[in-house]
């Protein structure tokens, strides 16, 4: 069974409403090429083999490991090792095959990619680091490459007419980072991205300390992510390499159409970037002012998305993190009368061009409901 920590960090896929089940395939043949989890075990994927030429590839989230010691600890759980992965995994929200929940995407073939590298499928360090006598491998980009190779060779992905790369949290960030790479592997397929809760912003905490920036910088260099981020971003003379590991800086370089799904009051960012230290509305007046100011901070960082060409954005004012992998927020939360499923469908299927749904202020959205 995937651990409780893993389920928490991926923000709990709703099993009570989910019907689709993916079966585990381990990438055993890729171990010799170094495409392994933190502990050296084989990476893999869950697949629901629907007879369709339209595919969804979902990259799992679950935070990052911020130091060698942190990665060592992570190598003992499902977010760093495949040794205890279950053989089946239930899928919900955007991955659900229930047409009542997911009417426009229920018949897509779905691949769910477990997360076990600690750096959003971006690291590529040749030699392992040794912590407490244990080898730790930073090979996320090799996992992604091996995944694509296996899906082409063994699952029929080379025949895909359409591919949607998606993910939530650290997997949402991975969608920003790797979307152009996936498109480069499938030049004759219609490739799009749906990045859920992956727009982590470079902002200070309540004490005006840029601690999150230092964390992203360290991960980038520790895992040697230079080969695992957007190439146009990394090769630009206008940006530092580590910034390509953050969505707001890499976004302007993405050439593939992408839709951004993110709460304006993302609970992970409130707790870990802003470090609010309380749960709104149960905060003192000073912290509530910081909370309300976060919306402006986030919107300023989101400007490239709001102003950018033919892409889309659904930014609600609910206290949420990861909405596409849960049946309820995917179909219930609305911005200007449309839920995330409908607005994404309008952008993706109906080709309506730019779709911008920017919500008002907390707590004025009645569709947030009990998930708020």
CATH fold of 4-371 reads Rossmann fold (3.40.50)
User: What is the chain's Cα-based Rg?
Assistant: 19
What are the tens digits of pLDDT across the range 225-251? 999 999 999 999 789 999 999 999 999
Of 162-176, 198-212, 302-316, 333-347, minimum mean pLDDT range: 302-316
**Percent of the chain with pLDDT strictly greater than 90:** 86
Asked if pLDDT for residue 40 goes beyond 90, the answer is yes
Q: What is the domain partition of the chain in residue ranges?
A: 4-371
User: 367: burial class by Cβ within 10 Å (0-12, 13-18, 19+)?
Assistant: middle
What are the tens digits of pLDDT across the range 45-57? 999 988 889 999 9
| Residue 240, pLDDT score | 94
Cβ(20)–Cβ(110) under 8 Å?
Answer: yes
Can you tell me the distance from the alpha carbon of 185 to that of 226, in angstroms, rounded to the nearest whole number?
19
The answer to whether the Cα torsion of 45, 50, 52, 56 is positive or negative is negative
Q: What is the mean pLDDT of residues 157-165?
A: 96
| Residue 51, pLDDT score | 80
| Residue 5, pLDDT score | 37
pTM, full prediction: 0.93
Residues 6+ apart with CB under 8 A from 202: 210, 212, 213, 216, 243, 246, 248, 249, 301
Asked if pLDDT for residue 32 goes beyond 50, the answer is yes
Please tell me what DSSP assigns to residue 47: E
| Residue 8, pLDDT score | 35
Question: What value does the mean pLDDT of the chain take?
Answer: 92
Can you tell me the distance from the alpha carbon of 311 to that of 262, in angstroms, rounded to the nearest whole number?
14
Can you tell me the distance from the alpha carbon of 276 to that of 293, in angstroms, rounded to the nearest whole number?
11
What are the tens digits of pLDDT across the range 174-184? 999 999 999 99
């Amino acid at each position: 069974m995937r651990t409780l920590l893993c389920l928490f960090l991926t923000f709990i896929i709703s099993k009570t409403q989910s019907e689709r089940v993916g079966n585990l395939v381990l990438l055993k043949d890729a171990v010799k090429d170094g495409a392994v989890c933190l502990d050296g075990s084989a990476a893999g994927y869950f697949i629901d083999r629907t007879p369709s030429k339209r595919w969804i590839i979902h990259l799992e989230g679950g935070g990052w490991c911020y130091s060698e010691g942190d990665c060592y600890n992570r190598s003992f759980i499902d977010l760093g090792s495949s040794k205890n992965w279950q053989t089946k995994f239930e899928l919900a929200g955007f991955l659900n095959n229930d047409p009542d929940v997911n009417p426009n995407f229920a018949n897509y073939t779905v691949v769910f990619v477990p997360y076990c590298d600690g750096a959003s499928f971006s690291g590529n360090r040749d030699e392992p680091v040794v912590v407490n006598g244990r080898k730790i491998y930073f090979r996320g980009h090799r996992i992604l490459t091996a995944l694509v190779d296996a899906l082409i060779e063994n699952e029929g992905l080379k025949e895909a007419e359409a591919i949607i790369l998606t993910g939530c949290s650290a997997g949402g960030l991975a969608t920003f980072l790797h979307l152009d790479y996936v498109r480069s592997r499938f030049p004759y397929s219609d490739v799009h991205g749906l990045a859920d809760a992956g727009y982590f912003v470079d902002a200070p905490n309540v004490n005006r300390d840029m601690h999150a920036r230092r964390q992203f910088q360290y991960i980038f260099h520790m895992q040697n992510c230079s080969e695992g981020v957007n190439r146009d971003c990394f090769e630009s003379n206008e940006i530092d390499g580590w910034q390509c590991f953050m969505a707001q800086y890499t976004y302007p370089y993405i050439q593939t159409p992408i839709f951004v799904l993110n709460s304006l009051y993302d609970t992970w960012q409130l707790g870990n970037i802003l470090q609010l230290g309380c749960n709104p509305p149960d905060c003192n007046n000073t912290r509530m002012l910081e909370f309300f100011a976060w919306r402006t901070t986030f919107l300023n960082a989101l400007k490239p998305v709001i102003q950018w060409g033919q892409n889309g954005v659904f930014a609600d004012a609910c206290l949420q993190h990861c909405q596409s992998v849960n049946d309820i927020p995917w179909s219930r939360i609305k911005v200007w009368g449309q839920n995330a499923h409908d607005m994404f469908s309008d952008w993706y299927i109906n080709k309506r061009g730019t779709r911008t749904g920017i919500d008002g202020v907390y707590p004025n959205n009645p569709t947030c409901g009990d998930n708020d």
